[in-house]
Amino acid sequence: MNGTSETQGSAPTAIVWHPDLLQYRFSDRHPMAPLRLDLTHRLVEAFGLLRAEHVRVIEPPVATDQQLAGVHEPAYVAAVRAAAERGVADEPRGLGTEDCPIFPDLHESAARLAGGTLAAARAVWSGQVRRAVNFAGGMHHAAAAKASGFCIYNDCALGIRHLLDAGAERVVYLDVDAHHGDGTQSIFYDDPRVLTISVHETGFSLFPGTGFANEVGGPEALGTAVNVAVPARTGDAGFLRAVNAVVPQLLRAFRPQVIVSQHGCDAHADDPLADLRLSVDGQRRLALDVADWAEQFAEGRWIATGGGGYNPLKVVPRVWTHLVAAAVGAPIPVDAPVPDEWIEHVRGLGPDQVECDMSLTGEGEDAARIPRTMGEGADVWWRSWEVGYDPADPVDQAIMATRKEVFPYHGLDPWFD
């Protein structure tokens, strides 16, 4: 089964971008390398996606302390500021760790990422655009009072908070990163206005060790936290089956006014920090599905962010360019050639620019695996839930565990809806 259509209308769309987003840089060797963003922006530009008449570019503002306090404790924001100024964390709060080392621009650069998604939410809810993408965002591990997993401020939560404060009554947060969207879930765990859905590798084998089916929301919001924890080595067919066996059914029941999605691409088979087996083609399919669901269930309102993804040459630029193309309404075929100008730029990168990509050390261009087409020739067929539940299939076991836990809260039958 191939899922939904690959054509979208040309709805007004905003893309968040400014070179200052590249200042979010923990160290030269840290996996969260700004090269990921730079090469994505260059590939988006090479395909002309920013030049369409219905597309506008939003420069991300630095979120103010008051705005950040909508989702983060003021004392935590102050601790981030102090750590950036002094170079050491007086209050650890997840700062100064291997995952979240301290650097001088820590507060401002993280607040700019957050400000980008906040600006995207403002543009969508005000009606200036119907869709917006901040591929520099997606910092889903940051909690109200703690940094975690390369994430300092939770931009997705900040965007959702703006939507709620502006009058939204039902918002869906959909996370398809390899890692559980724990920070965003925790911030809205007891808020019935926000349905958080995360499909990810099981916490038994992957950070942050959370995101199991029985995490269903706080006492005032039971059923509004949804987690599908698929086993390690799940590929396109299993992951797409898991998403499609849970997400559209809940969207139809919850009736969101806007969808906020996180598209970390670390579920790719060549990502060094996770154990899933998705392809670029499969992740492109996910972006197109979310675009369709926004049209079907949320009056077209859609805010998309990036997230994880640590193969900066082969994977991240292509997946997030497909995400931008889906939002713009101009899907790029998987057999489309990668533009020559982008390939030439990558060839010209020096060793100091690509230290974060270990595939480039000492083996020349072939080891870099510079992609030549926008897909990988993968088969993205998946078995629909209607075909039936296989009790021996670990993916089906994960799906059924989630459906049994959550579906009854929404008036849905775990077996048939």
Each residue's pLDDT tens digit in the chain (417 positions)?
444 445 456 789 999 999 999 999 999 999 999 999 999 999 999 999 999 999 999 999 999 999 999 999 999 999 999 999 999 998 889 999 999 999 999 999 999 999 999 999 999 999 999 999 999 999 999 999 999 999 999 999 999 999 999 999 999 999 999 999 999 999 999 999 999 999 999 999 999 999 999 999 999 999 999 999 999 999 999 999 999 999 999 999 999 999 999 999 999 999 999 999 999 999 999 999 999 999 999 999 999 999 999 999 999 999 999 999 999 999 999 999 999 999 999 999 977 666 555 444 434 444 457 999 999 999 999 999 999 999 999 999 999 999 999 999 999 999 999
Q: Is residue 415 part of a domain?
A: no
Q: Which domain holds residue 370?
A: 13-59+110-410
Pick the catalytic residue from 30, 41, 72, 141: 141
Instruction: Please indicate, yes or no, if residue 347 is contained in any of the structural domains.
Output: yes
Burial class (CB in 10 A: 0-12, 13-18, 19+), 193: middle
Contact assessment for residue 135 and residue 37, using Cβ atoms and an 8 Å cutoff: yes
Residue 127 lies in a domain: yes
Residue 92 lies in a domain: no
DSSP state of 331: P
Give a yes or no: residue 140 inside a domain.
Answer: yes
* Structural domain total, the chain: 1
Q: Output the pLDDT for position 355.
A: 55
> Quick check: 183 and 210 in contact, CB under 8 A?
no
In a domain, 207, yes or no: yes
CATH number assigned to the domain comprising residue 286: 3.40.800.20
- Residues 6 or more apart in contact with residue 220 via CB below 8 angstroms: 190, 191, 192
Q: Is residue 4 part of a domain?
A: no
Residue 323 has φ and ψ, to the nearest 5°, of: -65, -45
Helices of type H across 352-393: 364-368
Whether residue 72 lies in the annotated active site: no
The pLDDT, as a whole number, for residue 357 is 52
The answer to the question of residue 84 being in a domain is no
Strand partners, 201: 230
258-262 vs 302-305, strand pairing mode: parallel
pLDDT for 51:
95
